[in-house]
Structure 1
Protein backbone atom coordinates (compact mmCIF):
# COMPACT_ATOMS: atom_id res chain seq x y z
CA UNK A 1 0.00 0.00 0.00
CA UNK A 2 2.80 2.33 0.85
CA UNK A 3 4.55 1.72 -2.47
CA UNK A 4 1.39 2.41 -4.40
CA UNK A 5 0.86 5.74 -2.64
CA UNK A 6 4.46 6.82 -3.31
CA UNK A 7 4.21 5.94 -6.98
CA UNK A 8 0.95 7.83 -7.22
CA UNK A 9 2.58 10.94 -5.72
CA UNK A 10 5.50 10.72 -8.14
CA UNK A 11 3.11 10.46 -11.07
CA UNK A 12 1.21 13.50 -9.86
CA UNK A 13 4.44 15.50 -9.48
CA UNK A 14 5.55 14.57 -12.99
CA UNK A 15 2.16 15.52 -14.36
CA UNK A 16 2.29 18.91 -12.61
CA UNK A 17 5.82 19.55 -13.92
CA UNK A 18 4.77 18.65 -17.45
CA UNK A 19 1.81 20.95 -17.11
CA UNK A 20 4.07 23.80 -15.99
CA UNK A 21 6.34 23.24 -18.96
CA UNK A 22 3.34 23.37 -21.24
CA UNK A 23 2.23 26.63 -19.61
CA UNK A 24 5.68 28.20 -20.14
CA UNK A 25 5.76 27.06 -23.76
CA UNK A 26 2.30 28.42 -24.36
CA UNK A 27 3.31 31.76 -22.86
CA UNK A 28 6.39 31.90 -25.10
CA UNK A 29 4.25 31.13 -28.09
CA UNK A 30 1.88 33.90 -27.12
CA UNK A 31 4.74 36.40 -26.89
CA UNK A 32 6.05 35.23 -30.26
CA UNK A 33 2.64 35.61 -31.81
CA UNK A 34 2.38 39.24 -30.71
CA UNK A 35 1.46 41.81 -33.27
CA UNK A 36 4.56 42.58 -35.35
CA UNK A 37 3.56 46.25 -35.52
CA UNK A 38 3.98 46.59 -31.76
CA UNK A 39 7.44 45.05 -32.03
CA UNK A 40 8.37 47.59 -34.71
CA UNK A 41 7.15 50.49 -32.59
CA UNK A 42 9.34 49.36 -29.70
CA UNK A 43 12.71 49.96 -31.33
CA UNK A 44 14.75 49.36 -28.19
CA UNK A 45 15.35 45.66 -27.49
CA UNK A 46 14.42 44.99 -23.90
CA UNK A 47 16.07 42.80 -21.35
CA UNK A 48 14.39 40.86 -18.62
CA UNK A 49 14.26 43.85 -16.21
CA UNK A 50 13.06 46.29 -18.87
CA UNK A 51 16.39 48.06 -19.51
CA UNK A 52 17.69 48.36 -23.09
CA UNK A 53 20.79 46.41 -24.10
CA UNK A 54 23.98 48.48 -24.21
CA UNK A 55 22.43 51.39 -22.33
CA UNK A 56 22.50 52.51 -18.76
CA UNK A 57 20.14 54.64 -16.76
CA UNK A 58 21.07 57.66 -18.89
CA UNK A 59 18.82 56.40 -21.72
CA UNK A 60 15.74 56.80 -19.53
CA UNK A 61 16.55 60.26 -18.14
CA UNK A 62 14.02 62.96 -18.72
CA UNK A 63 14.76 66.52 -19.80
CA UNK A 64 14.16 67.77 -16.28
CA UNK A 65 16.76 65.37 -14.90
CA UNK A 66 19.25 66.41 -17.56
CA UNK A 67 18.62 70.07 -16.77
CA UNK A 68 19.17 69.45 -13.06
CA UNK A 69 22.38 67.56 -13.78
CA UNK A 70 23.68 70.40 -15.96
CA UNK A 71 22.71 72.92 -13.28
CA UNK A 72 24.52 70.89 -10.63
CA UNK A 73 27.68 70.79 -12.76
CA UNK A 74 27.48 74.54 -13.38
CA UNK A 75 27.05 75.23 -9.67
CA UNK A 76 30.03 73.03 -8.86
CA UNK A 77 32.18 74.78 -11.47
CA UNK A 78 31.09 78.17 -10.08
CA UNK A 79 32.04 77.15 -6.55
CA UNK A 80 35.44 75.93 -7.69
CA UNK A 81 36.05 79.19 -9.56
CA UNK A 82 34.97 81.20 -6.51
CA UNK A 83 37.35 79.30 -4.25
CA UNK A 84 40.25 79.71 -6.67
CA UNK A 85 39.54 83.42 -7.11
CA UNK A 86 39.22 83.85 -3.36
CA UNK A 87 42.58 82.19 -2.78
CA UNK A 88 44.18 84.38 -5.46
CA UNK A 89 42.59 87.51 -3.97
CA UNK A 90 43.82 86.65 -0.47
CA UNK A 91 47.32 86.02 -1.78
CA UNK A 92 47.34 89.34 -3.67
CA UNK A 93 46.04 91.15 -0.57
CA UNK A 94 48.76 89.64 1.61
CA UNK A 95 51.41 90.69 -0.90
CA UNK A 96 50.06 94.25 -1.02
CA UNK A 97 49.89 94.37 2.77
CA UNK A 98 53.50 93.22 3.06
CA UNK A 99 54.62 95.81 0.50
CA UNK A 100 52.69 98.55 2.34
CA UNK A 101 54.32 97.60 5.65
CA UNK A 102 57.76 97.76 4.05
CA UNK A 103 57.01 101.17 2.55
CA UNK A 104 55.73 102.42 5.92
CA UNK A 105 58.89 101.20 7.65
CA UNK A 106 61.05 102.98 5.06
CA UNK A 107 59.07 106.21 5.43
CA UNK A 108 59.38 106.06 9.22
CA UNK A 109 63.11 105.42 8.97
CA UNK A 110 63.58 108.34 6.56
CA UNK A 111 61.49 110.63 8.79
CA UNK A 112 63.45 109.66 11.89
CA UNK A 113 66.73 110.15 10.04
CA UNK A 114 65.72 113.66 8.98
CA UNK A 115 64.55 114.48 12.49
CA UNK A 116 67.87 113.25 13.87
CA UNK A 117 69.80 115.36 11.35
CA UNK A 118 67.73 118.41 12.25
CA UNK A 119 68.25 117.82 15.96
CA UNK A 120 71.98 117.35 15.40
CA UNK A 121 72.19 120.66 13.52
CA UNK A 122 70.33 122.42 16.33
CA UNK A 123 72.64 120.91 18.93
CA UNK A 124 75.69 121.99 16.92
CA UNK A 125 74.38 125.56 16.71
CA UNK A 126 73.67 125.56 20.41
CA UNK A 127 77.14 124.21 21.17
CA UNK A 128 78.70 126.89 18.99
CA UNK A 129 76.73 129.62 20.77
CA UNK A 130 77.66 128.22 24.15
CA UNK A 131 81.33 128.10 23.17
CA UNK A 132 81.15 131.72 21.99
CA UNK A 133 79.45 132.73 25.21
CA UNK A 134 82.09 130.89 27.22
CA UNK A 135 84.85 132.77 25.41
CA UNK A 136 83.10 136.09 26.02
CA UNK A 137 82.55 135.29 29.67
CA UNK A 138 86.22 134.39 30.06
CA UNK A 139 87.21 137.72 28.50
CA UNK A 140 84.78 139.55 30.77
CA UNK A 141 86.10 137.79 33.85
CA UNK A 142 89.70 138.50 32.85
CA UNK A 143 88.93 142.17 32.21
CA UNK A 144 86.88 142.61 35.35
CA UNK A 145 89.80 144.14 37.22
CA UNK A 146 89.68 147.09 34.81
CA UNK A 147 86.38 148.18 36.37
CA UNK A 148 87.36 147.79 40.00
CA UNK A 149 86.88 150.76 42.28
CA UNK A 150 90.53 150.69 43.35
CA UNK A 151 91.62 151.90 39.89
CA UNK A 152 91.15 155.68 40.09
CA UNK A 153 93.81 156.26 37.46
CA UNK A 154 91.63 154.70 34.74
CA UNK A 155 89.89 157.56 33.00
CA UNK A 156 86.19 157.62 32.28
CA UNK A 157 86.82 157.53 28.54
CA UNK A 158 88.91 154.38 28.81
CA UNK A 159 86.24 152.72 30.91
CA UNK A 160 83.63 153.74 28.34
CA UNK A 161 85.70 152.20 25.55
CA UNK A 162 86.15 148.99 27.49
CA UNK A 163 82.44 148.77 28.21
CA UNK A 164 81.68 149.36 24.53
CA UNK A 165 83.95 146.48 23.60
CA UNK A 166 82.27 144.25 26.16
CA UNK A 167 78.84 145.22 24.86
CA UNK A 168 79.88 144.15 21.38
CA UNK A 169 81.11 140.88 22.80
CA UNK A 170 77.78 140.41 24.53
CA UNK A 171 75.97 140.99 21.25
CA UNK A 172 78.19 138.42 19.58
CA UNK A 173 77.40 135.99 22.36
CA UNK A 174 73.64 136.37 21.88
CA UNK A 175 72.14 133.91 19.35
CA UNK A 176 71.33 135.34 15.93
CA UNK A 177 67.83 134.93 14.57
CA UNK A 178 67.77 132.88 11.39
CA UNK A 179 65.01 133.24 8.77
CA UNK A 180 62.29 130.65 9.09
CA UNK A 181 63.49 129.64 12.56
CA UNK A 182 62.03 130.40 15.96
CA UNK A 183 64.25 132.87 17.80
CA UNK A 184 65.97 131.49 20.85
CA UNK A 185 65.51 133.15 24.23
CA UNK A 186 68.79 134.59 25.60
CA UNK A 187 68.89 135.18 29.33
CA UNK A 188 71.80 137.49 30.28
CA UNK A 189 73.73 136.73 33.41
CA UNK A 190 74.11 139.07 36.40
CA UNK A 191 77.58 140.11 35.25
CA UNK A 192 76.30 140.96 31.80
CA UNK A 193 73.44 143.00 33.28
CA UNK A 194 75.93 144.86 35.46
CA UNK A 195 78.12 145.70 32.45
CA UNK A 196 75.09 146.82 30.47
CA UNK A 197 73.98 149.14 33.28
CA UNK A 198 77.48 150.58 33.57
CA UNK A 199 77.58 151.19 29.82
CA UNK A 200 74.24 152.98 29.94
CA UNK A 201 75.37 155.15 32.88
CA UNK A 202 78.59 156.12 31.12
CA UNK A 203 76.68 156.90 27.96
CA UNK A 204 74.34 159.22 29.86
CA UNK A 205 77.31 160.96 31.53
CA UNK A 206 78.99 161.51 28.19
CA UNK A 207 75.85 162.90 26.58
CA UNK A 208 75.06 165.20 29.59
CA UNK A 209 75.76 168.88 28.64
CA UNK A 210 78.33 170.77 30.67
CA UNK A 211 77.05 173.66 32.77
CA UNK A 212 78.75 177.06 32.52
Structure 2
Protein backbone atom coordinates (compact mmCIF):
# COMPACT_ATOMS: atom_id res chain seq x y z
CA UNK A 1 0.00 0.00 0.00
CA UNK A 2 1.40 3.38 -0.97
CA UNK A 3 -0.97 5.51 1.06
CA UNK A 4 0.28 8.13 3.47
CA UNK A 5 -0.66 8.53 7.09
CA UNK A 6 -0.69 11.83 8.88
CA UNK A 7 -0.83 12.98 12.47
CA UNK A 8 -0.48 16.29 14.21
CA UNK A 9 1.40 17.24 17.34
CA UNK A 10 0.30 20.06 19.56
CA UNK A 11 1.91 21.68 22.57
CA UNK A 12 1.26 24.62 24.82
CA UNK A 13 3.57 27.09 26.49
CA UNK A 14 2.01 29.62 28.79
CA UNK A 15 3.36 32.35 31.02
CA UNK A 16 1.49 34.31 33.64
CA UNK A 17 1.82 38.08 33.70
CA UNK A 18 0.30 39.60 36.80
CA UNK A 19 -1.21 43.07 36.59
CA UNK A 20 -1.52 45.01 33.35
CA UNK A 21 0.12 43.90 30.14
CA UNK A 22 0.18 45.24 26.60
CA UNK A 23 -2.21 43.74 24.08
CA UNK A 24 -0.53 41.85 21.26
CA UNK A 25 -2.28 40.67 18.07
CA UNK A 26 -2.64 37.05 17.10
CA UNK A 27 -0.66 35.59 14.25
CA UNK A 28 1.34 32.85 12.68
CA UNK A 29 4.97 33.12 13.69
CA UNK A 30 7.04 33.39 10.50
CA UNK A 31 10.15 35.02 11.95
CA UNK A 32 12.28 31.90 11.93
CA UNK A 33 15.16 33.61 13.72
CA UNK A 34 13.28 33.91 17.01
CA UNK A 35 14.37 31.80 19.99
CA UNK A 36 11.06 29.91 19.82
CA UNK A 37 11.56 28.93 16.18
CA UNK A 38 15.24 28.15 16.66
CA UNK A 39 14.30 25.74 19.42
CA UNK A 40 11.67 24.13 17.18
CA UNK A 41 14.14 23.72 14.32
CA UNK A 42 16.78 22.23 16.62
CA UNK A 43 14.24 19.53 17.55
CA UNK A 44 13.36 18.69 13.95
CA UNK A 45 10.27 20.91 13.61
CA UNK A 46 10.81 22.91 10.44
CA UNK A 47 8.67 25.63 8.82
CA UNK A 48 6.08 24.81 6.18
CA UNK A 49 7.77 23.94 2.88
CA UNK A 50 7.63 22.07 -0.40
CA UNK A 51 8.44 18.46 0.43
CA UNK A 52 11.47 16.79 -1.10
CA UNK A 53 12.69 13.21 -0.89
CA UNK A 54 15.36 14.34 1.58
CA UNK A 55 12.61 15.19 4.08
CA UNK A 56 11.76 11.48 4.40
CA UNK A 57 14.26 9.48 6.38
CA UNK A 58 14.41 5.76 5.59
CA UNK A 59 12.85 3.65 8.33
CA UNK A 60 11.51 0.20 7.46
CA UNK A 61 10.06 -0.37 10.94
CA UNK A 62 8.11 2.84 11.48
CA UNK A 63 4.45 2.83 10.41
CA UNK A 64 4.52 -0.60 8.75
CA UNK A 65 1.09 -0.08 7.16
CA UNK A 66 2.31 2.61 4.74
CA UNK A 67 5.22 3.24 2.38
CA UNK A 68 5.52 6.96 3.17
CA UNK A 69 4.49 8.82 6.30
CA UNK A 70 4.25 12.60 6.67
CA UNK A 71 3.93 14.16 10.10
CA UNK A 72 3.02 17.82 10.48
CA UNK A 73 2.84 19.88 13.64
CA UNK A 74 0.96 22.85 15.04
CA UNK A 75 2.45 24.32 18.20
CA UNK A 76 0.95 27.24 20.05
CA UNK A 77 2.02 29.54 22.84
CA UNK A 78 0.35 32.36 24.69
CA UNK A 79 0.85 34.96 27.38
CA UNK A 80 -1.69 35.77 30.05
CA UNK A 81 -2.55 38.39 32.59
CA UNK A 82 -4.23 37.68 35.91
CA UNK A 83 -6.37 40.33 37.60
CA UNK A 84 -7.88 40.10 41.07
CA UNK A 85 -11.53 41.02 41.70
CA UNK A 86 -12.23 40.67 45.39
CA UNK A 87 -11.43 37.10 46.34
CA UNK A 88 -11.57 35.91 42.71
CA UNK A 89 -8.82 35.96 40.11
CA UNK A 90 -9.42 36.17 36.35
CA UNK A 91 -6.84 34.97 33.81
CA UNK A 92 -7.05 36.09 30.18
CA UNK A 93 -4.96 35.68 27.03
CA UNK A 94 -2.98 38.77 25.98
CA UNK A 95 -0.75 37.29 23.26
CA UNK A 96 -1.31 34.33 20.95
CA UNK A 97 1.23 32.72 18.63
CA UNK A 98 1.18 29.66 16.38
CA UNK A 99 4.10 27.82 14.76
CA UNK A 100 3.41 25.07 12.22
CA UNK A 101 5.17 23.00 9.61
CA UNK A 102 6.82 19.60 9.17
CA UNK A 103 8.06 17.25 11.89
CA UNK A 104 11.00 15.95 9.90
CA UNK A 105 12.15 13.65 12.71
CA UNK A 106 9.00 11.53 12.30
CA UNK A 107 8.53 11.80 8.52
CA UNK A 108 9.62 8.51 6.95
CA UNK A 109 9.64 6.23 3.91
CA UNK A 110 10.43 2.59 3.27
CA UNK A 111 13.73 1.67 1.66
CA UNK A 112 12.01 -0.59 -0.87
CA UNK A 113 9.52 2.03 -2.05
CA UNK A 114 10.59 3.47 -5.42
CA UNK A 115 7.52 5.31 -6.77
CA UNK A 116 8.18 8.34 -4.58
CA UNK A 117 7.65 10.99 -7.26
CA UNK A 118 3.96 10.10 -7.69
CA UNK A 119 3.44 9.77 -3.94
CA UNK A 120 4.98 13.17 -3.18
CA UNK A 121 1.93 15.11 -4.39
CA UNK A 122 -0.28 13.18 -1.98
CA UNK A 123 2.14 13.75 0.89
CA UNK A 124 2.25 17.48 0.14
CA UNK A 125 -1.53 17.53 0.35
CA UNK A 126 -1.36 16.24 3.93
CA UNK A 127 1.13 18.93 4.90
CA UNK A 128 -0.90 21.63 3.13
CA UNK A 129 -4.05 20.62 4.99
CA UNK A 130 -2.23 20.81 8.30
CA UNK A 131 -0.93 24.27 7.44
CA UNK A 132 -4.45 25.45 6.61
CA UNK A 133 -5.58 24.54 10.13
CA UNK A 134 -2.47 26.19 11.53
CA UNK A 135 -3.42 29.41 9.76
CA UNK A 136 -7.01 29.18 10.96
CA UNK A 137 -5.84 28.73 14.53
CA UNK A 138 -3.37 31.60 14.17
CA UNK A 139 -6.17 33.92 13.07
CA UNK A 140 -7.71 33.82 16.51
CA UNK A 141 -7.15 36.99 18.48
CA UNK A 142 -6.52 37.03 22.23
CA UNK A 143 -9.99 38.41 22.86
CA UNK A 144 -11.62 35.40 21.18
CA UNK A 145 -10.53 33.13 24.02
CA UNK A 146 -12.58 32.65 27.19
CA UNK A 147 -11.23 33.70 30.56
CA UNK A 148 -10.37 31.44 33.47
CA UNK A 149 -11.44 32.18 37.02
CA UNK A 150 -10.41 30.79 40.37
CA UNK A 151 -9.75 31.60 44.00
CA UNK A 152 -6.01 31.86 43.31
CA UNK A 153 -3.89 32.96 40.34
CA UNK A 154 -2.84 29.35 39.76
CA UNK A 155 -6.45 28.14 39.79
CA UNK A 156 -7.47 30.83 37.30
CA UNK A 157 -4.60 29.89 34.98
CA UNK A 158 -5.47 26.20 35.20
CA UNK A 159 -9.09 26.93 34.31
CA UNK A 160 -7.98 29.05 31.36
CA UNK A 161 -5.58 26.35 30.15
CA UNK A 162 -8.36 23.73 30.28
CA UNK A 163 -10.67 25.94 28.21
CA UNK A 164 -7.97 26.60 25.62
CA UNK A 165 -7.23 22.87 25.44
CA UNK A 166 -10.88 22.22 24.51
CA UNK A 167 -10.65 24.77 21.70
CA UNK A 168 -7.43 23.19 20.43
CA UNK A 169 -9.06 19.76 20.58
CA UNK A 170 -11.78 21.03 18.25
CA UNK A 171 -9.20 22.19 15.69
CA UNK A 172 -7.34 18.91 16.08
CA UNK A 173 -10.49 16.89 15.42
CA UNK A 174 -11.35 18.97 12.36
CA UNK A 175 -7.82 18.48 11.03
CA UNK A 176 -7.81 14.75 11.79
CA UNK A 177 -11.19 14.24 10.14
CA UNK A 178 -10.16 16.13 7.00
CA UNK A 179 -6.89 14.20 6.76
CA UNK A 180 -8.75 10.89 7.04
CA UNK A 181 -11.29 11.93 4.40
CA UNK A 182 -8.46 12.97 2.09
CA UNK A 183 -6.83 9.55 2.38
CA UNK A 184 -10.14 7.73 1.93
CA UNK A 185 -11.27 9.71 -1.11
CA UNK A 186 -7.93 9.47 -2.90
CA UNK A 187 -7.19 5.89 -1.82
CA UNK A 188 -3.96 7.17 -0.33
CA UNK A 189 -3.06 8.93 -3.58
CA UNK A 190 -3.66 5.89 -5.79
CA UNK A 191 -6.86 7.33 -7.30
CA UNK A 192 -5.28 9.93 -9.57
CA UNK A 193 -8.55 11.60 -10.62
CA UNK A 194 -9.62 12.10 -7.01
CA UNK A 195 -6.11 13.24 -6.13
CA UNK A 196 -6.35 15.98 -8.77
CA UNK A 197 -9.77 16.98 -7.43
CA UNK A 198 -8.43 17.23 -3.90
CA UNK A 199 -5.34 19.13 -5.08
CA UNK A 200 -7.62 21.80 -6.56
CA UNK A 201 -9.79 21.94 -3.44
CA UNK A 202 -6.79 22.22 -1.12
CA UNK A 203 -5.27 24.94 -3.31
CA UNK A 204 -8.51 26.94 -3.09
CA UNK A 205 -8.63 26.58 0.69
CA UNK A 206 -5.01 27.69 0.94
CA UNK A 207 -5.84 30.88 -0.93
CA UNK A 208 -8.79 31.51 1.38
CA UNK A 209 -6.45 31.62 4.39
CA UNK A 210 -3.78 33.67 2.61
CA UNK A 211 -1.43 30.73 2.14
CA UNK A 212 0.72 30.44 -0.99
CA UNK A 213 1.94 27.20 -2.51
CA UNK A 214 5.37 26.44 -1.02
Report which structure shows greater RCO (CA 8 Å, sep ≥6).
Answer: 2
What TM-score, normalized by structure 1, do the two folds share?
0.20
Which structure has the larger Rg over C-alpha atoms? 1
What TM-score, normalized by structure 2, do the two folds share?
0.20
Q: By percentage of residues, which structure has more helix?
A: 1
